[in-house]
Structure 1
Amino acid sequence: MCRSHNLTEYRISVRGAMRAEIFPAPTILPIVLTQSAKASRQYAVMAQDPNHSESRNSLHYDIWNPSAHIMHSSFSWPYFLRHAQTNTRLSACLILLVLIPIVSGVRFDQCLNDIRSGKHGELGGTDNRGRPVSDIANATAISYDLCITACGAGSEPFAWSIFSTQFSSWLLPWLALVSQLPFGANDKLDNLVSMLMTVGSPTLAAYSLALTVLNGRWIAKRFASHSYPNLRNAVRILSSLQQSPLRVTTDGSLLSSLVVLPENDDWWSELVMWLDYTHTWSISAVTSISWVIIAYIFTVVDSFTGDITAAVNANGQGVGSLWIWLLPIVIGWLQISPKCDSVRLYQAIARANKIAYVATPSGRPVPASSLSRRRAITLAPGPEDALRRDEGCTAPIYNYARFLPWVQAVEDVRSAFSAASDHAHLHRSVDPEINWEKEDRFASGPSRVNREGTRAQVDAYCTAIGEHTSTRSAWGPHVWSRLCLASILALFLQWGATGAAIIVVWFTPTTGLGCRSGAYLLYGALSTVVWFLLVLSSLLSHYAMTTPHASGKPSVRIARLSSIAFRRLGKLVATCNAIWIVMTCLFQFTNFFDRCYCNSSVLGRGFNSYNVVEFMANDILGMRGAWIGGVVLAAGSATMFVVFVNLFINPQLPD
């Protein structure tokens, strides 16, 4: 018994009936605290005489008198606690009220038996297609209204055995595989954000990966028609620096000296060696990937060979398909081996720039460090501007933000190599007064003496031949084709996995759009929205950076502010979406979605909703077919993405 002083005493009676029972009392305040997983239970708070015959064995809870002048819109806990006789008894009452929903709930099979017995009338029973049955005893499904009335709005009870099995089989391996994603940022917060962005938007992760693969192939072809010393190393270096805020400076003969002077041969060869540090495959990576693949195969086979109707609404078949996008993303990055360790990247560039040389007016090269701190190729030390914040994050998922600036940097270097290659093809020395020396048959380019000259001569050698040079595009060559192809591949992977998960739960009776399929659909839609916002942000950012501020165009300021706003909004949505999908999986495994509203597919069927409780042979056959189709779609989309990566990576480099 829980009592208090100076307060009218109320009794909370827990009734085990399927229907909520409100008993007569002077003042009644019904409060629905929960619906049990075994039966729908409603707790009625009623004023009752303490001497009533039923009060001796009833649980009592004391609250304020509703008829008193102190009635408020919310419960006054300080007022209540001040008048509680014993804190221990009060705590016991509160604990009981909290624990009752956990151990109780709706039991749909028992509820269906009561309905078949006629306890709730003869109306509301249907077959598994939603058609009313003439005899309620033959009902295998019930209308949504009858489900709420007879069974309650609660969910099936939480079952640890189901949760642990489904969680460890379908979700845990994927969460463990997230650790194999490449991060590399020196800031732990940046690494966390990149992880949330990957989980929150697989579309963006796949887009950045596909773009990286396409860029590597594009740059190899872009340099393929040229031939000059260090050109092969230049392709390897520029391709490796896709994960860094690359900056190229053409002023002061810095770039032309780096391309032409033989003293800078060591710069190229040393930087290639210092950037070749990433291990593609490790024991932990292979173990994680193998665990995921084996666990996925075993659980899929087990779900088909076992009882397909057992805990069908908590089954993780759809969850496994939903997360399968992670497998090709991890495998793809391991194969590409991105150079994303920010510390090592900056150290490699700094070490190489210490041995860089620059041409002088006298014709004798000097170390670049003796003239200034400027270098031809550098990495931005930090976020130079809020507009370019994501460029400085070396995690590969941010390649979407570095795409256009990286293309411009590559074009600067290619132009210098192209002009030098054209001059060498015509047997022109850097210094016009020096005759072209005959190449050794084993040499890969012009001799050393043909590559020496003054600063003006070096600059002229890296300038295109003729006066017909056209103005270069601010966007870069073949940018839109690569952007569109990467987008198509990313959307294919995202919706192949998400679509497979939706198919699995869509065709699980009751068929149609329900809580599970709706949650998956929302996840895929938000993932696509994040990708769109961040790609749009990168385009606006590049436009604002390449348009001179002196132009005074209002469009530049609008593009600048919009880019920052879209980027921040995209990251916020990605974070929420990552949390949402994990919570969705947990809701499914804990039977939270196993309730009348979700099982009746109210989202899609509306007023015609019904809850299939007992599965028939045709239902099982349809479910099995949908599950097989979902597995094939998910595995097929993931496999095709892996095939694309393997076909396009490691292109043939120019000599």
Structure 2
Amino acid sequence: MAFGYLHLRLLVLAAAIAVAVAANFDDCINRIHQMPNTTVGGTDNRGNPMIITNATAITYDLCVQECGADPEPFAWPVFSQQFSAWLLPWLALISQLPFGANDKMDNLQSMLLSIGSPVLAAYALVLTTLNGRWITKRFFPFKNHPNAYRAVRVLSSLQQAPLRLTDDHSLLVALVTLRANRHWWGELLTWLNLTHSWSISAATSIAWVFIAYIFTVVDSFTGGVTQMVNANGQGVGSIWLWLLAIVVAWLQISPKCDSEHLHRAMNRANKFGGVPNGKRRMATDTEPAMYLSSDLSTLRCDESRSPPIFNYARLFSWVQSVEQVAEAFEPSNALLRGTPSPSEIESHRREDSDATEMNTFLGASLRHRSDSKSESSMAVDVTAHSIHLSSEMVGKRSRWGEGTWRRIVVSGCVALFLQWGTTGAAVVVVWYTPTTGLGCRSAAYLLYGIISTLVWMAMLISSILSHYSVTSKSKRAPSARIAAWFAIALRRLGKFTAACNGIGLVITCLFQFSNFFDRCYCNSSVLYWGSRAYNVISFQPEDVVFMRSAWIGGVFLAAGSTILFFIFINLFINPPFPTHEDDD
């Protein structure tokens, strides 16, 4: 409380000082127009010299000389109107991003990463969607297997969890093959589905933001584009539009990101089954075939954080887990393709079946295929056979996973399209507002997009180096240790940079509404024009037409990129998968 009160007093004091030293551009312009007829300092709206009394713009040097380098005074009516219309709805919508971690710091990191790097937020969203489609195709050859449909839904739902599989492949084969263990899949799937995507508060927030954006855009055109042009929120509205698409898309996907709920669901399922005899687990049983890791090591800590934006860190480990489960389906699916007669199957389906019965049952399937003597000879021990097949598959399995790089490239391109569609629209709106060119506002938006992209690249490289280090044959090898060090350093740098970028974006918006940018330096676009910089003080009809066209183009660019991103997600979301006749 004391710190907050002191902070508030400092803000009030800073505002009072700013008002005291602020420039009054109206008085300044009147003084300039009363100067003797000369072309020194006077220009038209293209920067061409002209008599000062007829000038519609002045040079940057004259502006500083006569008006000073300070900004226009803070105007509360302008600030409150623009802030509540253009920025406040977006800040409220941030609360609808998916979080779910038990640790509040993890949720805070997720929020700062999303605001500081929309590229990373969109990348995680697209990657989650494409992973769901990939796993459906990966398990499609096993569509007739009783557990295939449940496995697809379970594994897809566990993208937000640090999924791990046991090294004992016989447990995984039993989990896939035994009829009794079908209850394990059903139990886990039931508990994972106890989440809700849409809520009244979420729908209300989205509707509020959408309606507020439409109203403010329409009002900015009908009220006259030259009114409060330097404090207008057109650029602000465009640069935040990515948030609407991401929130709505996550609500459609409904990620299972409640960490406490995920662990409780997995523990409950593992108590029910998932062991060779398919019965309830006892304290003396071996480790479960599938579980959620509690690894909090510095290298892999982001994998344990359940907010979906951290899916970037779980990609490679999750893909490896999916591949391992698919490999468990391979031998059992191959055996079940030669299914014996119904009476023979029924004779081998017992509630008290164990690993021996599994071998007998699958061995019967092999013997039924009399055209393959080699397969019949393997029926002596099906579990050993499945482990042998798995060893061969692991030897051939890619460290990075099937099609992983393709999904990374596609996700990155789509995420960059959304980021630069909205950021580019904000830059266009401000760039073509006289004085045209790169100024303080457009440079701030451009820097935001660049830093957002760099943060995504840092986090992506960090996840690659981390997986390389973890999967290295020798964890103490120099290459593995160097990769681990760089992975940690890049991740920490990326998070810090994203936090600064997100806070900087909010401050930039506040500066625009508070007239902080309404000063000679920013209004003259010195960054673009250099020594030829000039400040437009009177808009001409052609300027208004040009500026209106740029604003309309910016709105369509931001809205179009957001709509196309949303269409892309809906094209790939929820791919169909044939269900077994016994599935729910």
TM-score, normalised via structure 2 length: 0.89
- Match for residue 307 of structure 1? 224
- Match for residue 5 of structure 1? none
- Match for residue 180 of structure 1? 96
C-alpha distance in 2 between matches for 1:595 and 1:120: 25
C-alpha distance in 1 between matches for 2:315 and 2:269: 24
* Cα pair distance change 1:281/1:600, threshold 3 Å: same
5 Å matches for 1:372-383?
A: 372=285, 374-383=287-296
Q: Secondary structure, in 3 states, of the residue corresponding to 1:378?
A: strand
- Match for residue 123 of structure 1? 40
* Cα pair distance change 1:186/1:124, threshold 3 Å: same
* Cα pair distance change 1:466/1:541, threshold 3 Å: closer
2:301 aligned with 1:389, yes or no? yes
Instruction: State the shift of 1:370 in Å.
Output: 4.8
Which range moves more in the overlay, 198-207 or 602-611? 602-611
Contact 1:223 1:654 in 2 (8 A): no
* Cα pair distance change 1:380/1:576, threshold 3 Å: same
Contact 1:271 1:352 in 2 (8 A): yes
- Match for residue 178 of structure 2? 261
- Match for residue 68 of structure 1? none
* Cα pair distance change 1:100/1:119, threshold 3 Å: farther
Among 195, 201, 204, which residue is 2:120 paired with? 204
Contact 2:174 2:355 in 1 (8 A): no
- Match for residue 437 of structure 1? 341
Contact 1:418 1:464 in 2 (8 A): no
- Match for residue 191 of structure 1? 107
2:546 aligned with 1:645, yes or no? no
2:63 aligned with 1:162, yes or no? no
Among 502, 519, 525, which residue is 1:601 paired with? 525
5 Å matches for 1:473-492?
A: 473-492=398-417
5 Å matches for 1:53-92?
A: none
Instruction: State the shift of 1:103 in Å.
Output: 4.8
| CA displacement 1:360-407 (0-9 Å, x = unmatched) | xxxx66544354351111001241x21101000000000000011000
Contact 1:262 1:452 in 2 (8 A): no
| CA displacement 1:501-540 (0-9 Å, x = unmatched) | 0000000000000000000011001100100000000000
Say what the alpha-carbon RMSD is for the aligned residues.
2.3
2:283 aligned with 1:404, yes or no? no
* Cα pair distance change 1:181/1:98, threshold 3 Å: closer
C-alpha distance in 1 between matches for 2:14 and 2:516: 19
- Match for residue 22 of structure 1? none
Q: Secondary structure, in 3 states, of the residue corresponding to 1:225?
A: helix
5 Å matches for 1:232-631?
A: 232-251=149-168, 253-359=170-276, 367-372=280-285, 374-383=287-296, 385-427=297-339, 436-438=340-342, 448=349, 453-454=355-356, 457=381, 459-460=383-384, 462-463=386-387, 471-549=396-474, 553-631=477-555
- Match for residue 15 of structure 1? none
Aligned partner letter, 1:167: F
Contact 1:601 1:609 in 2 (8 A): yes
Choose between structure 1 and 2: higher helix proportion: 2
Q: Secondary structure, in 3 states, of the residue corresponding to 1:381?
A: coil
| CA displacement 1:617-652 (0-9 Å, x = unmatched) | 111111101000000000001101111111111101
Which range moves more in the overlay, 605-614 or 466-475? 466-475
| CA displacement 1:336-380 (0-9 Å, x = unmatched) | 000000110000000000011433xxxx66544354351111001
Aligned partner letter, 1:400: Y
Q: Secondary structure, in 3 states, of the residue corresponding to 1:216?
A: helix
Instruction: State the shift of 1:101 in Å.
Output: 3.6
Instruction: State the shift of 1:495 in Å.
Output: 0.4
* Cα pair distance change 1:221/1:248, threshold 3 Å: same
* Cα pair distance change 1:267/1:100, threshold 3 Å: closer
C-alpha distance in 2 between matches for 1:128 and 1:252: 75
C-alpha distance in 1 between matches for 2:111 and 2:13: 40
C-alpha distance in 2 between matches for 1:107 and 1:119: 21
Q: Secondary structure, in 3 states, of the residue corresponding to 2:535?
A: strand
| CA displacement 1:97-146 (0-9 Å, x = unmatched) | 9845425522323322211211696511000000000x211101000000
Q: Secondary structure, in 3 states, of the residue corresponding to 1:309?
A: coil
| CA displacement 1:283-333 (0-9 Å, x = unmatched) | 001100000110000000011111211110100000000000000100010
Task: Name the structure, 1 or 2, with higher relative contact order (CA <8 Å, separation 6+).
Answer: 2
Contact 2:180 2:279 in 1 (8 A): no
Give identity over the alignment, percent: 56
Aligned partner letter, 2:33: R
* Cα pair distance change 1:464/1:493, threshold 3 Å: farther
Instruction: State the shift of 1:154 in Å.
Output: 0.8
Q: Secondary structure, in 3 states, of the residue corresponding to 2:437?
A: coil
Contact 2:275 2:288 in 1 (8 A): no
Aligned partner letter, 1:423: L
C-alpha distance in 2 between matches for 1:425 and 1:248: 26
C-alpha distance in 2 between matches for 1:540 and 1:465: 29
C-alpha distance in 2 between matches for 1:613 and 1:299: 25
Q: Secondary structure, in 3 states, of the residue corresponding to 1:142?
A: strand
Aligned partner letter, 1:262: R
| CA displacement 1:192-243 (0-9 Å, x = unmatched) | 1110110000000000000000000000011011131211001000000000
Instruction: State the shift of 1:256 in Å.
Output: 1.3
For structure 1, which runs of at least 5 residues remain unmatched after alignment? Answer: 1-94, 428-435
C-alpha distance in 2 between matches for 1:590 and 1:500: 22
| CA displacement 1:81-101 (0-9 Å, x = unmatched) | xxxxxxxxxxxxxx9998454
Q: Secondary structure, in 3 states, of the residue corresponding to 2:419?
A: helix
Contact 1:246 1:379 in 2 (8 A): yes
Which range moves more in the overlay, 473-482 or 117-126? 117-126
Aligned partner letter, 1:154: D
Contact 2:274 2:288 in 1 (8 A): no
* Cα pair distance change 1:446/1:146, threshold 3 Å: farther
C-alpha distance in 1 between matches for 2:415 and 2:114: 12
C-alpha distance in 1 between matches for 2:390 and 2:23: 83
Q: Secondary structure, in 3 states, of the residue corresponding to 1:348?
A: helix
Which range moves more in the overlay, 287-296 or 370-379? 370-379
2:63 aligned with 1:108, yes or no? no
| CA displacement 1:226-267 (0-9 Å, x = unmatched) | 131211001000000000000011416221111111221110
* Cα pair distance change 1:115/1:184, threshold 3 Å: same
Aligned partner letter, 2:572: F
Q: Is the radius of gyration larger for structure 1 or structure 2? A: 1
Q: Secondary structure, in 3 states, of the residue corresponding to 2:58?
A: strand
Contact 1:120 1:150 in 2 (8 A): no
